[in-house]
Structure 1
Amino acid sequence: MRAEWQAHIDQLLETYREKRQQLQGLQEALEEIEGAGEAVDGQVRARVDRQGKLTELELDPRVFRRLGSEELAEAVLEASNAAAADAAAKVRAATAAVMPAGAADGEGGVDLSKLLSADVPTDIDGVKRRYGLLDR
């Protein structure tokens, strides 16, 4: 094997190991994420997991005297939506380190077309051309 190929393979393996370790750390961090939100001056509090699933709801007993059923329902929705937004922001912040620059779609998601660099060949002839193997 040519020395430059081996050097490139070694570099790719090292990059792979670093990214894998980074992703393992990210997975651990994501498992810990939860969001919190509140409404009605803190009398309605909600907690959600990283996916926005409601995990805890606290209602101060005073809120039952203050609000009717429809207003209370709205307050629960407000607190849980705030908690979900908090969790989503924490997930975005945690994943920012592993996302390529410009991959965010502006709405909290990812534009998958931007994950691959434009200079990385995606076909076998492109790979052969990049490494000088096309005419062999």
Structure 2
Amino acid sequence: MEPHERSRMAIPRFPVATTQLSSIIEDTRTEFMLCSYDDAVLVIVTQLGKLGTILHARKEQVHSGTSTFNVNVLMGKRDEPILVACARQIIEHMSNSGSSRSLVLSLGLKNHSPVTLRGIIDVIISNKVW
């Protein structure tokens, strides 16, 4: 069995590039949907079959020319700094890859361990849609 099952889904009359895949992370089937909009990237990750904590991350330019990254929890667990760290790592990678889009990330996870989140980040980065 392949560690990642991947399929491109073309949705007629809706011009959003979408990638759906699943992966086994820490013995748990994890579903991914990555959508590329003109101004943002939407990533939905679930081990529960539903949405979880929803975060918004964006790059901000500071007048000195350096960049900072702002991550906000829109809905869900506000007391899970590891979820914020996950979003920050993804938006930093997006920025380093040349993307200026923001990130909307939904994480519906059974396990919030660093190993699980590292696996999720690796799958998202290796299947980037930005």
Task: Quickly name the TM-score band, shorter chain normalised.
Answer: under 0.3
Higher relative CO (CA 8 A, sep ≥ 6), structure 1 or 2? 2
Q: Which has the higher helix share?
A: 1
TM-score between the two structures when normalised by the length of structure 2: 0.27
TM-score between the two structures when normalised by the length of structure 1: 0.26
Q: Which has the higher strand share?
A: 2
